A and B are shown apart, each in its own frame.
Chain A
Amino acid sequence: MSSSIAQIRAGLVSQLRNVYGLNVYGAEPGQITPPAAVVVTPSITYHTSFSSEGGLKTYEFRVLVLVAQGLLDEAAHTLDTYADPSSTLSVRSAIEKDPTLGGIVDTLVVSSFRPMNAEEVTSLQYWGGEFLITVYAR
């Protein structure tokens, strides 16, 4: 099992497409149609295990979920729904449903969610939140 970033990103995109109504982007797009999920290029910890070629690496993927262009009541409720692990639209549940992404990674865990701060909302011009996904892959 040796996975590329592109393969892992595609695996996450595939899982996110199971969230009804969510527009999923595999890379940072110029424009989006909310509600949207954007899989951002991960930070990587190399050499998690021995073997430079086939060893374990730790990827920290960020998935931005953007729901509206302003903080409206409806937008806040929509974001709640995506963040709620018991919701039928739960982003965490959709990603963790197959923790090997079809056998291309060793395992993954959606470790956290946080709403965007005011600076990020201003910068992106969208209200939303960020999921952090830790992926272990060789």
Chain B
Amino acid sequence: MPVLKDCNIWYGGYDLTSAANQVDIDTSFADVDVTVFGNGGVHQRIAGLEDSKISVMTFLDPALSEPAITSKRGGTTDLFTAVAFPTSGTVTVGDQFYAVRAQLDSFKEPMKVGDAARIEASLMTSQVEGLLQGQVLAPKTTVSATVSSAGATLGAVSAGQIAYLGVHIFAVTGDRTVTIRLQSSPNSTFTGGTVTSRVVLSTVSAAGSQFGSSATATTDPYWRSQITLGGTTGSVTYATFAAIQ
């Protein structure tokens, strides 16, 4: 049973890790009663609609947690990601994440004299994929040239499944533009002309989050992200992750 110490929290291109100290991911399924006559007098139930709620507690940092949360007022949907158990405390390729595209449901700023200021947010899933569970492809890193992440073994995409790519861009400096792809390959080394781009996100030039998906079935088990930089000066700080479900 690991003790939670280094859970990485990313929200809409903000790294809230050093400001947050509690996250709750609460997923539930509606209770649908399908009891019929003649069943022996016992209720029968099936799981109904899935719903996920996220709550996160942060200390109020005017340059970090406050803008990260208050900028989502008015029903904005943004990408929330938690890497609960980074390898040896540092997020590594293949670490498991939970992510959800969620709408800000509410936030509160409890104020008590003598206490450290806090801001807490409550989010609700708002997109069809619901709660995602997958693997980190590129841990948070800063690059100044086009680079591909190491490969992760996510497995094949069967008919009816979807491959998802999530991205947090934490900072863009200089005149850089960013295009990120999700790529698959039948071999772990991604060599031999067998690399296929499954998701290509739109080119951006500012911090924020991005999300894309592909419903194309493939037997390729290996996946990576590729970040292509445009411009000539500056750098980009980002992280990527993918899930198949």
Q: What is A's interface to B at a CB cutoff of 8 Å?
A: 47-56, 106-107, 109, 111, 136, 138
Contacts and interface: CB of A to CB of B under 8 A. Distances in A.
A104 to B, nearest CB: 15
A50 B89 contact: no
Interface of B: 4-9, 17-21, 58-59, 61, 89, 114, 116
Contacts of B4: 50
A54 B18 contact: yes
A96 to B, nearest CB: 12
Contacts of B89: 52-53
Contact of A107 (B7, B9, B58, B116): B116
Contact of A51 (B18, B58, B59): B18
Contacts of B116: 107, 136
A52 B88 CA distance: 10
B8 A50 contact: yes
Nearest to A111: B114
Given A48-B59, A49-B17, 15 more contacts: A49-B18, A49-B19, A50-B4, A50-B5, A50-B18, A51-B5, A52-B6, A53-B89, A55-B5, A55-B6, A55-B17, A106-B59, A106-B61, A111-B114, A136-B59
B61 A50 contact: no
A106 B116 CA distance: 10
Given A50-B6, A50-B7, A106-B61, A56 B21 contact: yes
Nearest to B3: A47
B2 to A, nearest CB: 12
A14 to B, nearest CB: 23
Contacts of B19: 49, 56
B18 A52 contact: no
A136 B9 CA distance: 20
Name the residue among A55, A136, A138 with the largest chain B CB count within 10 angstroms: A55
Nearest to A108: B116
Contacts of A52: 5-6, 89
B103 to A, nearest CB: 23
Contacts of A106: 59, 61
A106 B18 CA distance: 12
B114 A109 contact: yes
A47 B6 CA distance: 9
Nearest to A136: B116
B5 A47 contact: yes
B10 to A, nearest CB: 11
Contacts of B18: 49-51, 54-56, 138
Contacts of A109: 114
A138 B17 CA distance: 11
A106 B117 CA distance: 11
A1 to B, nearest CB: 9
A54 to B, nearest CB: 5
Given A55-B17, A56-B19, A49 B114 contact: no
B227 to A, nearest CB: 23
A49 B59 contact: yes
8 contacts: A47-B21, A49-B19, A50-B8, A51-B17, A54-B18, A55-B17, A111-B114, A136-B59
